[in-house]
Structure 1
Amino acid sequence: MSPRSTSPAGAPGGPARERVAGVAAMLGSGLSNQTGAAIGSLAFPVLGPLGVVAVRQYVAALVLLAVGRPQLRAYTWAQWRPMLLLAVVFGTMNLSLYSAIDRIGLGLAVTLEFLGPLTVALAAVRRRVDACCAVIAAGGVVVLMRPQPSADYLGMGLGLLAAACWAAYILLNRTVGRRVPGAQGSAVAAGVSALMFLPVGLVVVLRQPPTLAAVGCAVVAGLLSSAVPYLSDLFTLRRVPAQAFGLFMSVNPVLAALVGWIGLGQRLGLTEWASIGAIVAANSLSMLTRR
């Protein structure tokens, strides 16, 4: 008999099955994240981006606090400082992204936001190919933001603010991960961010009583865009290499454009698709050529 690979439990083809499960989880996470954002945008007419983000922060806090179970009394100021900064960045990132979605659509907003992790990835290495990738991505952004009568520069600016926040989120997460064990740091940041948005939720409710459908859309957005991706990433990173995970992350702008087109009727022109393709290609090329 020819030898067969087995998983720890003795099932044949364990490693291959683990990889397939990881890829399926990545695809599900990406679709869940963008679908959640699309569903959340349906509540904009009633709650506005601010109200939807507030509900999303509450849902994220409940999930992460249940998973992380932080020990609040045990932290020092050196641990609290990056967690508080992460809370501010977390809330600002979601608010700027959802405000951008409200103005320029899901696909373009997520594409601009994706520049954040792409910039962090390209800045971490010093290779000629990464310089070429940066030029390609910059070209895509220039084309996206080209002057035209219908251009919404405020929406694009909000998308770039979301990108800067995502880059800061990555760097702060590294610091929090070194100083706070497990998922406790992310849980504390999510909890503090939710507390910051409590007055926002109160103002939204008093200004315009929300409908059950709008609140339901916002809660679903929180679950699909926060809870599911977070738990899925924990599952995925144990089964696929970090390089493959980073490469698959570049598919998110494409998924966002497709979900916006199919679910919300937000059609993009050939120029916008070319810009999205350039930014995705820049990240893919950088990841594929990295050891």
Structure 2
Amino acid sequence: MTTATRSTGTMGTLALTALTPIVWGSTYAVTTEFLPPDRPLFTALLRALPAGLVLLALTRVLPHGRWLGRAAVLGVLNIGAFFPLLFLAAYRLPGGVAGVLGAVAPMFALAFAAVLLAEAPTRRKVIAGVIGVFGVSLVVLRGTVELDLIGIVAGLVGAASMAAGTVLTKRWGRPDGVGPLALTGWQLTAGGLFIVPLALLIEGAPPALDRQAVGGYLYLGVIGTALTYWLWVRGISRLPATSVSFLALLSPVSAAVIGWIALGQALTALQVVGLGVALAATVFGQMPAESGVVKTEYVPAQRVSDTVLNRSSSVGPELVCATSRERTVEG
């Protein structure tokens, strides 16, 4: 495969993966316009569990062995814990503050990738993370804000949970013969089951639903969850985990644009500048490492050939570090 072909394939994967946070940006508009108010856990449950069960039925593949635990961990990190923490932050903090806390996720991903993937954070990506937080803050923050400690902790832990789930998805890969659609189904089902007791205990019985609510939940479940999380998991398997995490900056950008177009919300000049800064940080975070710098690349066990293992008997089965000055690996 030529360098040009690989580059084209990477850009195509990046574009498809970027659709995920762009679609996620529509969640706020759909929730406020079509769904019952004050039922965040019920909404999270209907987003995750039905979609997960449908994907399980389509793929007809269930986790077994150590993947029972791994699927549960990924489901809790990416769905079961992330959704409730996200909503808790949104309810206890002004939306802008919650959005800024979510924008910290790429920084958490850089830290987790350094520990779990031996993927040393590059100066470029650290700078891109800081710029991304700054750009999102210009888009979402309004005047004076009141801070709530529980909300701040929830927002930061939620961002860390999603970042950890992204990095662990990259580290563990997938079992042989299991595609990203099946792995997505495992995570959504595990995360949804985790939310069930929380929703019943905190919010009680499900509310009555009208046609608008049914349509909103179908959109969130099919488009906003099943499709987007499949693209997200697929992207993680083909791209550096930290590069994928930077795409999350597109979510508040998308939400602001959708609010402007669909809900008639005005965009100030400062917000427009913030949109540009956040987009620039997203692009900056995708750029390859500086030429000539020795980089470390994490390779899941199933991608390591027997030849490499035989030549590197001192290397553990879960981690192989490859360094090269002949080629540049994204950090």
Given the two structures, how large is their TM-score scaled by the length of structure 2?
0.62
The equivalent residue for 1:3 is none
The equivalent residue for 2:285 is 286
Correspondence 1:65 to 2:64: no
Tell me if the contact between 2:184 and 2:230 (Cα under 8 Å) persists in the aligned partners.
no
One-letter amino acid of the structure 2 residue matched with residue 168 of structure 1: A
Write the distance in 1 (CA, Å) between the matches of 2:268 and 2:139: 11
One-letter amino acid of the structure 1 residue matched with residue 205 of structure 2: L
Tell me if the contact between 2:21 and 2:251 (Cα under 8 Å) persists in the aligned partners.
yes
How many residue pairs get aligned? The number is 273
Given the two structures, how large is their TM-score scaled by the length of structure 1?
0.69
> Once the 2 structures are TM-superposed, how far is the Cα of residue 264 of structure 1 from its aligned partner?
3.8
One-letter amino acid of the structure 2 residue matched with residue 192 of structure 1: A
1:111-166 CA-to-partner distances (Å, cap 9, x unmatched) read 54243135424753343333433443455577789896434546555443331121
1:48 to 39, 42, 53: 39
> Once the 2 structures are TM-superposed, how far is the Cα of residue 53 of structure 1 from its aligned partner?
0.9
Write the distance in 2 (CA, Å) between the matches of 1:142 and 1:149: 13
The equivalent residue for 2:296 is none
* Runs (5+) with no aligned partner, structure 2: 290-327
One-letter amino acid of the structure 2 residue matched with residue 84 of structure 1: A
The equivalent residue for 1:87 is 75
> Once the 2 structures are TM-superposed, how far is the Cα of residue 185 of structure 1 from its aligned partner?
3.9
Correspondence 1:182 to 2:185: no
Correspondence 1:129 to 2:127: no
The equivalent residue for 1:166 is 162
Write the distance in 2 (CA, Å) between the matches of 1:264 and 1:104: 19
Structure 1 residues 44 and 63: alpha-carbon distance in aligned structure 2, compared to 1, 3 A threshold: same
- Map of 1:130-279 to 2, 5 A cutoff? 130-137=125-132, 139=134, 149-151=144-146, 153=148, 157-178=153-174, 181-183=178-180, 184-199=182-197, 204=203, 206=205, 208-232=207-231, 246=244, 250-267=249-266, 269=268, 271=270, 274=273, 277-279=276-278
One-letter amino acid of the structure 2 residue matched with residue 79 of structure 1: W
> Once the 2 structures are TM-superposed, how far is the Cα of residue 70 of structure 1 from its aligned partner?
2.6
1:251 is paired with a residue whose SS is helix
* Runs (5+) with no aligned partner, structure 1: 1-13
> Once the 2 structures are TM-superposed, how far is the Cα of residue 59 of structure 1 from its aligned partner?
3.1
Write the distance in 1 (CA, Å) between the matches of 2:283 and 2:56: 34
Tell me if the contact between 2:107 and 2:126 (Cα under 8 Å) persists in the aligned partners.
no
1:247-279 CA-to-partner distances (Å, cap 9, x unmatched) read 766433321221133334555655555555545
2:173 is paired with a residue whose SS is helix
Tell me if the contact between 1:47 and 1:210 (Cα under 8 Å) persists in the aligned partners.
no
1:38-57 CA-to-partner distances (Å, cap 9, x unmatched) read 21333554452122111101
Structure 1 residues 149 and 254: alpha-carbon distance in aligned structure 2, compared to 1, 3 A threshold: closer
One-letter amino acid of the structure 2 residue matched with residue 95 of structure 1: P
The equivalent residue for 1:5 is none
Write the distance in 2 (CA, Å) between the matches of 1:119 and 1:280: 19
One-letter amino acid of the structure 2 residue matched with residue 93 of structure 1: F
Q: Percent identity?
A: 23
Tell me if the contact between 2:27 and 2:224 (Cα under 8 Å) persists in the aligned partners.
yes
- Computed over aligned residues only, the root mean square deviation of the Cα atoms, in angstroms, reads 4.3
One-letter amino acid of the structure 1 residue matched with residue 191 of structure 2: S
Structure 1 residues 134 and 110: alpha-carbon distance in aligned structure 2, compared to 1, 3 A threshold: closer
Tell me if the contact between 1:33 and 1:224 (Cα under 8 Å) persists in the aligned partners.
no
Write the distance in 2 (CA, Å) between the matches of 1:272 and 1:159: 22
